[in-house]
Structure 1
Amino acid sequence: MRTLLALGLLLSLAQAQTGVGVSPPRSLFSLAPGGSATQTVLVDHPGRQGTLRVSVLLSDVLLKPDGSPLYLEPGSHPRSLTRWLSLSPLEFLLPPQGSQEVRYTVQVPPEAKDGTYWGIVFFESGPAQERPGGQGVGIRVRTRVGHVVYVDVGQVNRSGRIQGVRYQPPVGRGGPELRVVFQNTGNGVLRLSGKVEVRDASGKLVQQVAVPETASLPGATHELPVPLKEPLPPGRYVVLAVLDYGAASLIAGEARLEVR
């Protein structure tokens, strides 16, 4: 999952306009069933021209098998947090260099089961007054930036396992990478980082690269993209992946690859 989520940046007629900034990009609360917490998010307009109109929207998100986000309507899955959120204000104007505090409250139902719940608060911004396009058609220029909210309820078990590794050769402008297949076997969100070693058939170290920090959602099986420094020549390799999720123990997995 990305810590700062941005969608649909269009710049047609409003090159001088910019999107908003959001701080912090995410929050994590630990609450008991029936508990509540309040957070303030600072939304700012870093540009020097044009007033922005900002709307506050809620969204759910899951992970696709390739690790990319799948955005859904609020309340679309059992671990959705959006049903527990109340926000204010829901719309406001931001002058250049201006800022606005948005406050939200999480209210956990008394019957909530243990585990992590999550949702996204999107801040959608665009010119305060849309410019008309050709033949009376309005052109809307909107940018979305997200604040991700996680809530750990009750007893949270964080665990996972590496199911395999595959090699992705360079495609278009994308460089070579390994795709580590990971299964989140617990009921809590994981923030994964670590390293990957690639050795040839003789055991010689070919590459050692870092695993970029990635969020893994409870119940998800997905790929972690790990950029390589250079493509792997044809041959057979042994890949060792070691993942750290902030616990005392690490998650390790070994796989064999053949590159043709």
Structure 2
Amino acid sequence: MRKLLPLLLSLLPLAQAQTGVGVSPPRALYPASPGSSLTGTVAVDHPGRSGTLQVEVLLQDVLLQPDGRPLYLDPGSHPRSLARWLSVTPLAFFLQPQGVQEVRYTLQVPPGVQPGTYWGVIFFESAPAGGRQGGEGIGIRVRARVGHVVYVEVGQVSRSGRIQGFRYQPPGGDAPAQVRLVFQNTGTGLLRLKGRVEVRDLQGRPVAQAEVPETASLPGATHEIPAPLAKALEPGRYLVLAVLDYGNPNLIAGEGRIEVR
């Protein structure tokens, strides 16, 4: 087995929790071939200055919901899950303040597996060792969870996608107004997307522009990608033009119309 250097990808906001452990790196991508094995490591740290943390390892799958939010599932819940290939050690440990634990995992890729991207999440769930919060009677143990996302690309993957449509989302709460792109990943590989959107009136005059932040798209997923606007659009009908870059010389372009009421 040989250790491969991880490539950081952005899929999920799995950063250090406010209370609990941190992980580094938060995500990794490995190339592999059918029947091969590989190893990886992730550093789990206790950033606090007091209290021992008890940490347990949990495996989960994740898919993208139509609105782009992650949906966490039991291991092995979809055909692209790598949970059955994965073994992790240690599965439980204690961390002293400012302490770091190296966690090692091994991936055994089955022979004959189809080319494409496979993925899963290694979660680290932490709580004060032996501690409970609450008054007399029933106590509540406060747990925090952060994750390390693992992607494995087996063989030659295809990368393609298309913009299926657009919709306007008005501002609400702390969220700005957005043009949301409906995107379909039509290939077998993970896509890392970024780009730009231009809004025009029906006479073709530019009204607004927006940047598409880096967003990951899983193979087979159809989901929305936000493009935040600097200000809300006035009621009316608009043309929308979008261009997405996924690291390929060929860009993904789309156009459509939205109506703001």
Task: Normalising by structure 2, report the TM-score.
Answer: 0.92
Conserved in 2, the CA contact under 8 Å of 1:126 and 1:141? yes
Structure 1 counterpart of 2:253, which letter? A
**2:126 corresponding residue in structure 1:** 125
1:46-85 mapped onto 2 (5 Å cutoff): 46-85=47-86
**Residues 1-43 of structure 1: CA distance to partner in whole angstroms, max 9, x if unpaired?**
7443269x7xxxxxxx822111111111111100111111011
CA deviation after TM superposition for structure 1 residue 132, in Å: 5.3
CA deviation after TM superposition for structure 1 residue 130, in Å: 1.6
| Number of residue pairs aligned between Structure 1 and Structure 2 | 252
CA distance in 2, matches of 1:130, 1:114: 46
**1:160 corresponding residue in structure 2:** 161
**1:12 corresponding residue in structure 2:** none
SS at match of 2:19: coil
Query: Unaligned regions of 5+ residues in structure 1, if any?
Result: 10-16
Conserved in 2, the CA contact under 8 Å of 1:168 and 1:177? yes
Conserved in 2, the CA contact under 8 Å of 1:199 and 1:239? yes
**1:169 corresponding residue in structure 2:** 170
Distance 1:6-1:42 versus aligned 2 partners, 3 A rule:
closer
CA deviation after TM superposition for structure 1 residue 122, in Å: 0.4
CA distance in 1, matches of 2:171, 2:12: 26
CA distance in 1, matches of 2:237, 2:134: 57
Structure 1 counterpart of 2:26, which letter? P
**2:190 corresponding residue in structure 1:** 189
CA distance in 2, matches of 1:75, 1:41: 22
Distance 1:132-1:223 versus aligned 2 partners, 3 A rule:
closer
Conserved in 1, the CA contact under 8 Å of 2:116 and 2:153? yes
SS at match of 2:171: coil
Structure 2 counterpart of 1:201, which letter? L
CA distance in 1, matches of 2:142, 2:133: 11
Structure 2 counterpart of 1:48, which letter? R
**Residues 175-215 of structure 1: CA distance to partner in whole angstroms, max 9, x if unpaired?**
21111000000111111111111112232222221111111
**2:254 corresponding residue in structure 1:** 253
**2:216 corresponding residue in structure 1:** 215
Are 1:110 and 2:87 counterparts? Answer: no
Conserved in 2, the CA contact under 8 Å of 1:130 and 1:138? no
**1:44 corresponding residue in structure 2:** 45
CA deviation after TM superposition for structure 1 residue 79, in Å: 0.6
Conserved in 1, the CA contact under 8 Å of 2:239 and 2:258? yes
**2:13 corresponding residue in structure 1:** 4
Percent of pairs with identical residues: 69
**2:6 corresponding residue in structure 1:** none
CA distance in 2, matches of 1:4, 1:94: 23
SS at match of 2:48: coil
CA distance in 1, matches of 2:94, 2:13: 22
CA distance in 1, matches of 2:114, 2:244: 28
